[in-house]
Amino acid sequence: MVKFVNVGVSFVGEYQALNNVNVEIKRGEFVYIIGRSGAGKSTFLRLIYADLLPSRGVVSIESRDINLMSRIEVPFLRRQIGVVFQDYKLLENVSVFDNVKLGLDIFYMKRSAARERIWPLLKRMGIFEKRDDIVKNLSGGEKQRVAVARALINDPKIILADEPTGNLDQENAENIMAVLRECIDTGATVIMATHDKFLREKYPAREIELEKGKVMRDEVRNEL
């Protein structure tokens, strides 16, 4: 599903965000990407989304090298990936419902049909009563749950989550984890960057630990 072969990413000043990374993630896996700030976690996720290209090595998604993808192919790849960005990337001046509906717009789905898909998910996220609220009026935790809902609404094959529980209390964080864990039951692959040690211990899974751009540890603590 996702494969990194001798991958390196260098930025201005020869700073290496990733250095000689070799990782393979299979369909249906739940994987934590862990490490201190600046370790390379967000860069790792950006490569999978083809938001960034490697300076060296090969990143392949479904056996397709992202360096060889055309401008037409990249959007098709991204349609199969749900992303929860650390800074949300929501449309602040539109409603919760319309933010989540963006994930369905590629199907030209009517609003009534979209409602049938979106409302149950908003209820699952605990933000159904906020469905018509403008996003800029929400709390950080509520925005986080909207971002997760938008990422999941399209039933993606791969879910990339960058600190998806960072602004949530324990109850809502565990609710998000439950939703993400359910996704692997449908065959989706979940790759989650996190600092949350409590959740990792409560919901053990494969952990890939990065330090200064290098993989220091890659082990399965327990199967979900």
Q: Domain map of the chain by residue range?
A: 2-220
Alpha helices in the chain (DSSP H): 41-48, 73-79, 96-101, 111-125, 140-152, 170-184, 197-202
| Type and span of the H or E element at 18 | strand 16-25
Q: In the predicted model, what is the mean pLDDT of residues 32-60?
A: 96
Q: Looking at per-residue confidence, does 17 or 104 come out higher?
A: 17
- Fold of the domain spanning 2-220: Rossmann fold (3.40.50)
Task: Flag whether the pTM goes above 0.85.
Answer: yes
Tell me the average pLDDT of the chain: 93
Residue 159 has φ and ψ, to the nearest 5°, of -120, 120
